[in-house]
Amino acid sequence: MKKYVLRRLLVAIPSLLIASLIVFTLPRLLPGDVVQLMLEEKAYGKDLEELRAKMGLNRPIYIQYWEWLGKIGRGDLGESLWTRRPVVEELLRRLPVSLELGLLALFFSILIALPIGVLAAVRQDTLSDYVARSLAILGLSVPGFWIATLVVLLPAIWWGWSPPIQFTEFAKDKWAHFSQFLIPAFILGIASAAAIMRLTRAMLLEVLRQDYVRTAWAKGLRESIVVAKHSLKNAIIPVITVMGIQIAQILGGTVIFEQIFGLPGMGRFLFDAINQRDYPVIQGVNLIIVSVVVMMNLLVDAMYAFLDPRIRY
Amino acid sequence: MTISRRDLLKLSGGALAVGAGAQVLELGRPTPAAAQTPKRGGTFRLRSHVAPVHFDPHQTIAFATMIPLSLAYSRLVKVKAGSAVVPGTQPIEGDLAESWERQGDTVYVFKLRKGVRWQPKPPVNGRELTAEDVRYTYDRFLNAKGNPNRFVLEMVDKVEVLDKYTVKFTLREPNAWFLDRLASTSTWIVAKECVDQFGDLKSPDSVVGSGPWMLQRYEPNVRLTFVRNPNYYIPGLPYVDNVDIALSQDPAAGFAAFLAGAFDFGPEYGMVIRRSDLDIAKARVKNLGTRDYIVVFGGFTAMKLDQDPFKDVRVRRAVAMADNWREVLETNAWSLGKGAPNPLIPAAFRDWTIPIDQLPSEGRRLYESTSADARKLLAEAGHPNGIKVPMETTPGYGPDWMDAVQVALKNWKAAGIDVDMKLKEYGAFVSSSLLGKFDRMMLTLRGGTTDPDTYFTLMLPGEPLNSSGVNDPKLTEMVKQQRRIFDEKKRRDLVFDIQRYASQQVYYAFGASVSAVAAWMPYVKNFGPNIGHDYGGRLMGAWLDK
Amino acid sequence: MANHVGALDAPRAIATRPARPSPLRLAWLFCRRKPLGAFGAVLVLLMIVMALFANWIAPYSFDETIRGARMKAPGSQFWMGTDNLGRDIFSRVVYGARVSVSVGFGAVLLANFLATIIGITSGYFGGKYDICVQRVVDAWQSFPFLVVILSIMAVLGPGLLNVILALGVLGASAGSRVIRGATIGVIQNQYIEAARAVGAGHLRIMARYVFPNVAATIIILATIGLGAAILAESALSFLGFGVPPPYPAWGAMLSGSGRSYMYTAPWMAIWPGAAISLAVFGFNMLGDALRDLLDPRLRGSGGGRLR
């Protein structure tokens, strides 16, 4: 087990290095010069070069890359070209917001998906199965931002109520801070629920046909016990895998919800940085997200290996 | 003060339209400011849909920065505010300057108010503001590397301190708009201590000014909080103790919060509310205060004058004649039909824009024609089967902009002008097409500056924004000349002449501007909306009657 | 329903297996067996029909502005109402199917094409090649999809083709993993060794033996991917990077002026929103049904019997 984890860790390092290379070059492929964007359209020829030099953008690429890598080793991700605030500082402020949103969304996802998945498997091909699955897929099919818009706008028009538009920090008011995530997380969760539901159902179906389950049946055990004790445990494994994937998707896809609900998370931060060609921010945020995902995959694989001793590759 | 293209992007193409036409719609009559005693206290709650990137006025032209700075800083002269001021007019009054006089054509001497103190914030700590601060500010303004606002005061040769409260400006050449330029929202007086301590003025901690409110706290992408400046030099002002600006990007969420009573003013830029939402707002807020005004942004078409087919003025005229400015206004959610066509000087400038019916006949025709007229003119110019041209623009200004572009394209097609649209991502667009690197046609937004003179810039050779490539000595001479006329009436005559001439040459085709609705809660008193970013100026004399 | 008992049926003897049923009978059995999947198939078919025959179905052109018909509520002349520019929404929804079908099928085709090549070669050759490729895929897959899409769109510029390219490249990485897994499963089989013993080249083996067996996986990935592509297009439109006008994309209709006029003219958003939802729903249901039928793991357990 330990050797396996170590091996996976070693394997993750080249992934991260390749990722860092991609992360570094990708924003520089974007057309449009960041300095010109800064000066908007009032570009003064001389100033352009000086500004570029001041920001260190006129040195050869490989030197900039090497320097960046070195800084990372010291825990410094550079400063935003626009605001001059350290990237690490911004990330520390925003990452928790995105994570909270993502984790809460995942929680709602599971809350919705597991019961539906179990129901659909146990009552396979009955009306309950069809209705349950339809509802789950419907949750996936309606664009999230549409539901969010309705939820935000309609109560305001009908009753003069809207979700809080300003973000409350955890320190200021714990309940207000938590409650502002509820609505967006729920809507996000509805969308992810379908994938988890599918997998739960499929896994449960497969497990239910196994011999030991039929044995339990034959022994006369109540259905619920059969399902819970024997099947669910084994069905859980792939579900965890999917959860890992969902987290990655959620982390990358929270932009829209951050925008609509006014949550200062990483999604919007990254989006703006790309539009503004703020290279250090793009690089820093990308690197963090990629690292988080790679680590998450590692964790999932380790849990996988832990739970199922047959798996070792 | 100016607006960058990026900011226009975030204003979601609030005013757009490529077209031409006549008939200015009447502006709302202001409700007379009732003689009331102002109440003190309370908090103004506003929304801004863009977060300030940083706070250094010499490093950006973004209105996202200038709006908060307008609350915390002051300048030598400012634009009058209050419910009696007609939007679109820019009457100047003294801010830090108590009086001023022009000596000759190129020298201005300003006498500062005595006893003005900076805000009691480190590192300035409430010391007295003197002429040296003014000199320092404009020195930095003119010499800082990468100051996109420099063009505002490029006519200034030197700034000198005559004594503790007297500053002398010497201009390189006469410019009758100098005072208007000084009243813009980029000419804030800043303190040397802040620059020395922080290196630049980007950090929110370095925002120490002499304006009515102090920047208390900045939570990036969340909110800006301001608290009253106890040292403010006008006794009794500001009436309201705090200002809270919520930074929220989504217009639907912003409007929902407005309906829920989270803001005291309309949620969009300029305290505006979309006209399509007005009925809903009125249903929820009884006695909502509103006022219409024509916004200063509008679309325009640049055409390469050294390329076929735009070498021929008749073709350019046809382009301007063919797009249906009325239809664009009608299909826009902010205007729902209300607005005005733009000659060279935007219609928002009530005192300086030429009424369409005072244009020469070719100019008038641009705004009153149909596609059939345009088609005929094209045939006369040697294109009986119409023309086919490429055009570049960006979807980065928002869906409202793209809708307007669609209307323009459709109307052009009806006139035989087959426009092949090529879209560029916003960043790429700004770095190339906007600076003149495009093939034949380009569509974009203009607007943001609040002195009419800056709108001549795109006609002057050598300017980066002269995207059509205009080089007309007669026009250049007229523009230079009007800067030398100090008599307002005579200047206006020349400005009108310039607009007449421009309407005949059609170096650019100008789109219409919407008439937007500014809205505020019934308990907000003595507030008058206006064009420009000077929120601070407009809010300092207002109060809450709650 | 006692489905659990299905697996206990004794397998039929090969000799007595009846001839393959006619396609019509297959379809009928499919409807009975998987009603949800059949419903999904109908929706998908509807969408494809709309896309192919838009010229005949739509009463107006998608960018035709009708005089005096701005913001009209649904009625006898305009079944779904008109928008703020005076265009018939029903026509735009019908033509929008073309855009969604193009984006969906285009992106999925590209994604699966890339995924298949990467997945099969990686799983088949194994060894160092596999490890290297998997590391790159790892890195690529961990990227927040936003970055990839925005970067590609910024470099290429807005446009229908570029959206397809961006979505295709993005979707390739996840699929390649699954296909690689399936490939590894397939190459364990005896007949692969046999083919190699006979002297068949790698390409031949991959094309003739591996690919057909992985095809089921690919099909399943494709149908789910179609739904995801359509949703992604609408999300991109919201962020300002979707399919630009004049193409009437459902996502753009929903997130653009549909959203602005949501309360005063809800029909501008409801119909494209419903179209998106039904299309995605249909693809997902169809994909689920196909997976139930084609997935070998579930085949013997009551999910795959059409006979």
A50 → chain B, closest CA residue: B145
Enumerate the residues of chain A whose CB falls inside 8 A of the CB of residue B56: none
Task: pLDDT band for A42, please (50, 70, 90 cuts).
Answer: low
* Sequential DSSP letters for B213-233: EEEEEEETTTEEEEEE-TT-S
Q: Mark the ranges of chain C whose per-residue pLDDT is less than 70.
A: 1-21, 190, 295-307
Helix (H) / strand (E) containing B423: strand B417-423
* B-contacting chains (≥3 CB pairs under 8 Å): A, C
What is the mean pLDDT of the segment spanning B136-161? 90
**Which site among A11, A146, A275 would you substitute to test the C interface, given the most C Cβ atoms closer than 10 Å to its Cβ?**
A146
- How near does any CA of chain A get to the CA of C253, in Å? 12
Residue-averaged pLDDT of chain B: 88
**What is the amino acid identity at position B394?**
T
Residue with tokens 């739509």: C58
What is the mean pLDDT of the segment spanning B346-358? 92
The pLDDT value given to residue A248: 66
What is the mean pLDDT of the segment spanning A166-192? 84
Say which DSSP state B31 is in. Answer: P
CB contact under 8 Å between B249 and A262, yes or no, is yes
Strand duo B417-423 + B387-393: pairing: parallel
User: Does C150 contact A at CB distance below 8 Å?
Assistant: yes
**Those residues with Cβ within 8 angstroms of residue C169's Cβ, 6 or more apart along the chain or in another chain:** C110, C111, C114, C148, C152
Q: A150-168, pLDDT tens digit by residue?
A: 888 888 888 888 888 778 7
The pLDDT value given to residue C94: 93
What is the mean pLDDT of the segment spanning B415-439? 86
C262 → chain B, closest CA residue: B252
What is the mean pLDDT of the segment spanning B13-33? 34
**Those residues with Cβ within 8 angstroms of residue A279's Cβ, 6 or more apart along the chain or in another chain:** A27, A28, A34, A57, A81
Say which DSSP state B57 is in. Answer: T
- How near does any CA of chain B get to the CA of C246, in Å? 7
- Give the whole-angstrom CA distance, residue A261 versus residue C257: 20
What's the length of chain C? 307
User: Please, which residues 80-109 of chain C have a Cβ atom closer than 8 Å to chain B?
Assistant: 84-86
Enumerate the residues of chain B whose CB falls inside 8 A of the CB of residue A259: 249-250
The pLDDT value given to residue A5: 72
- List the single residue in A30, A206, A248 with the smallest CB-CB distance to C151: A30
**Which site among C61, C85, C155, C234 would you substitute to test the B interface, given the most B Cβ atoms closer than 10 Å to its Cβ?**
C85
What is the mean pLDDT of the segment spanning B414-435? 86
- List the single residue in C85, C159, C260 with the smallest CB-CB distance to B276: C260
Alpha-helix residue ranges (DSSP H) falling in B222-370: 251-259, 278-284, 313-322, 325-330, 361-368
User: Does B274 contact C at CB distance below 8 Å?
Assistant: yes
What is the mean pLDDT of the segment spanning B277-296? 92
Q: What is the ipTM of this complex?
A: 0.81
**Which site among A29, A34, A40, A146 would you substitute to test the B interface, given the most B Cβ atoms closer than 10 Å to its Cβ?**
A40
- How near does any CA of chain A get to the CA of B50, in Å? 11
In chain A, % of residues over pLDDT 70: 79
User: Does C37 contact A at CB distance below 8 Å?
Assistant: no
The pLDDT value given to residue B162: 94
pTM across the whole model: 0.85
CB contact under 8 Å between A276 and B430, yes or no, is no
- List the single residue in A32, A37, A152 with the smallest CB-CB distance to B256: A152
Within its chain, how far is the Cα of B232 from the centroid?
Answer: 27
**Which site among C1, C29, C147 would you substitute to test the A interface, given the most A Cβ atoms closer than 10 Å to its Cβ?**
C147
Q: B73-122, pLDDT tens digit by residue?
A: 999 999 998 888 999 899 999 999 999 999 988 999 999 999 999 999 98
Enumerate the residues of chain C whose CB falls inside 8 A of the CB of residue B395: 158, 240, 244
The pLDDT value given to residue B21: 29
Task: pLDDT band for A213, please (50, 70, 90 cuts).
Answer: low
* Sequential DSSP letters for B103-124: ETTTEEEEEEPTT-B--S-TTT
What is the mean pLDDT of the segment spanning B50-58? 89
Enumerate the residues of chain B whose CB falls inside 8 A of the CB of residue A161: 260
Alpha-carbon distance values, B128 to B78, B100, B160, B210 (Å)? 20, 20, 18, 10
The pLDDT value given to residue B289: 92
The pLDDT value given to residue A79: 81
- List the single residue in C239, C281, C297 with the smallest CB-CB distance to A206: C297
Enumerate the residues of chain C whose CB falls inside 8 A of the CB of residue B331: 70, 84-86
The pLDDT value given to residue B108: 94
User: Does C266 contact B at CB distance below 8 Å?
Assistant: no
The pLDDT value given to residue B358: 92
Q: Which residue has the higher pLDDT, A296 or A87?
A: A87
**Which site among A126, A145, A215 would you substitute to test the C interface, given the most C Cβ atoms closer than 10 Å to its Cβ?**
A145
Task: pLDDT band for B182, please (50, 70, 90 cuts).
Answer: very high
Alpha-carbon distance values, B459 to A147, B351, B508, C290 (Å)? 48, 21, 9, 65
The pLDDT value given to residue B239: 93
**Those residues with Cβ within 8 angstroms of residue B486's Cβ, 6 or more apart along the chain or in another chain:** B102, B105, B174, B176
Helix (H, G, I), strand (E, B) or coil at B393: strand
Q: How many CB atoms lie within 10 A of CB A242?
A: 19
Q: Residue A45: is its pLDDT beyond 60?
A: no
CB contact under 8 Å between A271 and C150, yes or no, is yes
The pLDDT value given to residue B22: 27
The pLDDT value given to residue B426: 83
The pLDDT value given to residue A239: 64
CB contact under 8 Å between A50 and B146, yes or no, is yes
User: Does C156 contact A at CB distance below 8 Å?
Assistant: no
The pLDDT value given to residue A227: 60
The reply to whether omega before C246 is within 30° of 0 (cis) is: yes
Q: Residue A247: is its pLDDT beyond 60?
A: yes
Q: Residue B305: is its pLDDT beyond 80?
A: yes
Residue-averaged pLDDT of chain A: 77
The pLDDT value given to residue B29: 33
Q: Residue A311: is its pLDDT beyond 70?
A: no
The pLDDT value given to residue B292: 93
- How near does any CA of chain A get to the CA of B371, in Å? 34
User: Does C264 contact B at CB distance below 8 Å?
Assistant: yes
User: Does C68 contact B at CB distance below 8 Å?
Assistant: no
- How near does any CA of chain B get to the CA of C154, in Å? 6
Partners of B441 in the β-ladder: B303, B391
What is the mean pLDDT of the segment spanning B237-241? 92
- How near does any CA of chain C get to the CA of B237, in Å? 38
- How near does any CA of chain A get to the CA of B516, in Å? 21
